[in-house]
A and B are shown apart, each in its own frame.
Chain A
Amino acid sequence: MIIFEKAGKNFGRTPALNNVNLSLPEGKIIGLFGPNGAGKSTLLKAAAGLVRLSSGRVTVDGKAPRQRRTRLAYLPEQNTLPSNWTIKRAAEFYRAFFADWDNKRYEKQMEFLNLKDDLRFARISRGQRAKAKLVLTLARQARYILLDEPFSGIDILAREEISKALVRDYSEGQQTIVVATHEIDEIENLVEHIIFLDNGRITVLGDADELRRQEGKSIVAIMKEAFRDGGK
Chain B
Amino acid sequence: MDFDATRPIYLQIIELYKRALLTGELKSGDKILSQRNYAEQYKVNPNTVQRAYREMEALGLVETLRGQGTFVTVTKKQLRTMKEETAENALHSFIYEMKTLGFTLAAVLTKVQENWEKEANGR
Contacts and interface: CB of A to CB of B under 8 A. Distances in A.
Indicate, yes or no, whether A interacts with B: yes
Given A190-B44, A212-B7, 10 more contacts: A29-B47, A167-B43, A171-B36, A171-B40, A189-B3, A189-B42, A190-B43, A191-B45, A212-B5, A212-B9
Interface string B1-15: 001011111110000
A209 B10 contact: yes
Contacts, number: 60
A164 B45 CA distance: 10
A209 B48 contact: yes
B75 to A, nearest CB: 29
A221 interface: yes
Most buried by B among A160, A168, A210: A168
16 contacts: A29-B45, A29-B47, A167-B43, A167-B45, A171-B39, A188-B5, A189-B9, A189-B42, A190-B45, A192-B45, A209-B8, A209-B9, A209-B48, A209-B51, A210-B8, A212-B7
Interface in B15-41: 36, 39-40
Interface of A: 28-29, 160, 163-164, 167-168, 170-171, 187-192, 208-210, 212-213, 216-221
Contacts of A167: 39-40, 43-46
A231 to B, nearest CB: 23
A95 B42 CA distance: 32
A109 B117 CA distance: 53
Given A189-B42, A189-B43, A190-B43, A212 B6 contact: yes
Contacts of B47: 28-29, 192
B46 A189 contact: no
Interface of B is mostly: helix
Contact of B5 (A168, A187, A213, A220): A220
Of B8, B45, B46, B48, most A-chain CB atoms within 10 Å: B45
A160 B42 CA distance: 10
Nearest to B3: A189
A198 B9 CA distance: 26
A188 B48 CA distance: 12
A221 to B, nearest CB: 7
B40 to A, nearest CB: 5
Nearest to A164: B40
User: Which 4 residue pairs are nearest across A and B when measured between Cβ atoms?
Assistant: A218-B5, A209-B8, A192-B45, A171-B36
